[in-house]
């Protein structure tokens, strides 16, 4: 069982706040604070896949970048293999990066257009293992390309010569070449066609099984997340709404926001699709500069009560499979 495996990553009360000012604001206008991530806690076990879902602007990508220190966290704790990384110097982060890699959302934009495929995939080896010979690097690059479905003929090509799916395979090979323990996938299939999405997801699952990888998989598509994840974390406006095992979350969602998201998933059965009730959320996503008091979801929640206005719900355990941040759960 995944619950018995040791956690390799522990994130506790992570916040990422940005100081922002409108470009047309007067010089004396006060600087405002944008709360992109506000008190998120999670853990990832060895070999586990944690799915992270939520609508655009909820802080998923910011969370991923903060875990990797691509964005500096405002406060909170990031424990990697028992080692505290929040506020750590660059040299300490450099030693960790070979174990934690990232696959980016836009496959073409994440690749250097002036480098060949072999140079792109081999760059992490040259950075973290400078003692390797050119022949060793070439051999490892060739082996990794074969594992992700690329051929020797692709070695000397440039990113613009490849399709989106092939570029994402290059990005996956670059992330895997150091044999990391954890890969953060930031919407890796959202820019790809549906048929290519399935190929990339199945490739990630096969590689995870063969290499013992842990994954943090960020996506909009709840069907994709269901296919690949073991546990799922639901975010809204920088906060965790629900964290549950996959089967429990899809069978009995406990948070009103999770139920609304799941009701929007199309059902491949015309009769059931026509009969289902979609739980519409009224209003727009509030600004992270001025989030609602109390529960941040209360302005769109169909079940909100007076308590939701003044008291922030804590993420609490409901049973052995589900945690939710809701007064009514």
pLDDT in tens, 38-56: 999 999 999 999 999 998 8
| pLDDT (0 to 100) of residue 285 | 84
Q: Which of 108-112, 192-196, 247-251 has the lowest mean pLDDT?
A: 192-196
| pLDDT (0 to 100) of residue 231 | 96
| pLDDT (0 to 100) of residue 1 | 41
Q: How far is CA 68 from the centre of its chain?
A: 11
- Which domains are seen in the chain, by residue range? 2-20+31-99+180-252 (3.40.50.300)
Tens digits of per-residue pLDDT, 100-112? 999 998 888 899 9
Report long-range pairs for 21-24 (Cβ below 8 Å, ≥24 apart): none
**Which residue in 61, 95, 69 sits closest to 81, CA to CA?**
95
Asked whether residue 153 carries a pLDDT value surpassing 80, the answer given is yes
pLDDT tier for residue 220 given thresholds of 50, 70 and 90: confident
| pLDDT (0 to 100) of residue 51 | 97
Q: How far is CA 85 from the centre of its chain?
A: 19
**Which residue in 38, 8, 48, 75 sits closest to 235, CA to CA?**
38
Tens digits of per-residue pLDDT, 54-71? 988 899 999 999 999 999
- Cα end-to-end span (Å), the chain: 26
143: enclosing H helix or E strand: helix 134-147
Question: Mean pLDDT: which of 22-26, 266-270, 293-297 is highest?
Answer: 293-297
Mean pLDDT of the chain: 91
Q: How far lies 172's CA from each of 175, 208, 310, in Å?
A: 5, 12, 45
Tokens of 115: 């480098």
Mean pLDDT over 29-33 rounds to 88
Strand runs labelled E in 21-82: 32-45, 49-53, 75-80
Distance CA 246, CA 225 (A): 9
Residue found under tokens 């007064």: 327
| pLDDT (0 to 100) of residue 2 | 44
Length of the chain: 329
Q: Give pTM, 2 decimals.
A: 0.91
Contact 228, 204 (CB under 8 A): yes
Asked whether residue 24 carries a pLDDT value surpassing 90, the answer given is no
Tokens of 49: 């896949």
């Amino acid at each position: 069982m995944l619950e018995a495996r040791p956690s390799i990553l522990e994130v506790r009360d992570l916040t990422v706040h940005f100081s922002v000012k409108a470009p047309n604001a007067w010089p004396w206008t006060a600087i405002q604070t944008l709360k992109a991530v506000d008190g998120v806690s999670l853990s990832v076990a060895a070999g586990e896949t944690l799915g992270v879902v939520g609508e655009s602007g909820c802080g998923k990508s910011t969370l991923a970048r903060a875990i990797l220190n691509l964005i500096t966290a405002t406060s909170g704790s990031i424990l990697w293999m028992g080692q505290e990384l929040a506020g750590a110097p660059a040299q300490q982060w450099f030693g960790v990066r070979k174990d934690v890699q990232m696959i980016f959302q836009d496959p073409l934009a994440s690749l250097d257009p002036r480098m060949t495929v072999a140079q792109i995939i081999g760059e992490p080896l040259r950075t973290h293992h400078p003692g390797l010979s050119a022949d060793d690097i070439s051999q490892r690059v060739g082996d990794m390309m074969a594992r992700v479905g690329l051929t020797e003929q692709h070695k000397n090509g440039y990113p613009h010569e490849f399709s989106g799916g092939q570029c994402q395979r290059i990005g996956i090979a670059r992330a895997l070449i150091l044999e990391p323990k954890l890969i953060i996938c930031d919407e890796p299939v959202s820019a790809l066609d549906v048929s290519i999405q399935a190929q990339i997801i199945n490739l990630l699952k096969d590689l995870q099984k063969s290499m013992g990888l842990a994954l943090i998989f960020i996506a909009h598509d709840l069907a994709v997340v269901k296919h690949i994840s073991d546990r799922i974390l639901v975010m809204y406006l920088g906060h965790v709404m629900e964290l549950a095992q996959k089967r429990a979350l899809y069978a009995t969602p406990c948070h009103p926001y999770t139920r609304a998201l799941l009701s929007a998933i199309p059902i491949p059965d015309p009769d059931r699709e026509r009969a289902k009730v979609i739980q519409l959320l009224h209003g727009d996503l509030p600004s992270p500069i001025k989030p609602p008091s109390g529960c941040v979801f209360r302005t769109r929640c169909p079940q909100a009560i007076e308590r939701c206005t003044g008291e922030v719900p804590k993420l609490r355990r409901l049973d052995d499979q589900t945690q939710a941040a809701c007064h009514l759960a």
